[in-house]
Amino acid sequence: MSLSLTVVQHHPAEGPGRIADWAARRGRQLDIVDATAGQLPRPDPRTPWVLLGGPAQVNELPDWLAKEIDLVRHALQANVRLLGICLGAQIIATAMGASVARLADPEAGWCEVRFANGDRQHFLQWHSQGMDLPPGAQHLADSEGWPCQMFHRHRRVIGVQFHPEWDAAMVQRLHQAFGAECPLSTANDPQDATRHAHAAAWLDALLDDWFDG
């Protein structure tokens, strides 16, 4: 297994966030590429990919996104370890043959995610579309607003609809980039600090298991 990790970015404001913190602590190198500029990696099973979020929608399919979905299909065939977050999860789900549909009401801000093992935890969300469970994948979580919040296939391919990588600094960046469109609170709420800490711990455990598993 390579010590590097390819991070596929879909918007300048949506960077790796806590994933970069995890990589620094674990001695992993992040290679960040811009999918919208056509900077797509070549599938290599030795190097895992993280596909980040962004404002694009898989049902609209701009040219760069159609190319990315096709490349992810090749990556799946090549047994590349994949982790998708929000749009990234929808890209993986689409490449696996699942549908993506519009939510009746967007999920935004802190939302409770209900895991199949009975755990419940709040994570930041901001999306108006959701993915169905891909064929051959195992359902791992849902929410009140959408039935598929997380899935995996053989623990190598994981999709999460929520944003465990968003920390307080990332929320500020999103406000700077999207202005009044951004629904996330920047209030200094002690409950938010606790939720951020729990999200960080959850992400560390997920990345450790996924990357080295």
**Residue 15: predicted pLDDT:** 97
pTM value?
0.97
Three-state DSSP state, 170: helix
Check the CA dihedral 128-18-1-42 and report its sign: positive
CB 96 within 8 A of CB 72: no
Question: What is the model's pLDDT at position 186?
Answer: 87
Q: Whose CA is closest to 53, among 160, 145, 141?
A: 160
Q: For residue 128, give Cα distances in angstroms to 1, 42, 116, 151.
A: 36, 30, 23, 18
Smallest CA-to-CA distance from 130 within 115, 147, 114, 118 is with 147
Q: Which of 16, 191, 3 is nearest to 88 (CA)?
A: 16
DSSP assignment of 42-105 equals PP-TTS-EEE---S--TTT--HHHHHHHHHHHHHHHTT--EEEETHHHHHHHHHTT--EEEEEE
For residue 2, what pLDDT is reported?
A: 65
State the pLDDT at residue 213. 72
Q: For strand 138-142 and strand 150-153, is the pairing parallel, antiparallel, or unpaired?
A: antiparallel
Predicted pLDDT at 130: 97
Output the CA torsion 45→7→212→156 (10° steps): -60
Q: How far apart are CA 145 and CA 131, in angstroms?
A: 12
Q: Which residues of the chain fall below pLDDT 50?
A: none
What is the residue whose two structure tokens read 């929320």? 171
Backbone angles phi, psi at 207, to 5 degrees: -65, -40
Domains along the chain with CATH numbers: 4-212 (3.40.50.880)
CA distance 22 to 180: 30
Q: How far apart are CA 25 and CA 94, in angstroms?
A: 32
What local confidence, expressed as pLDDT, does residue 1 receive? Answer: 52
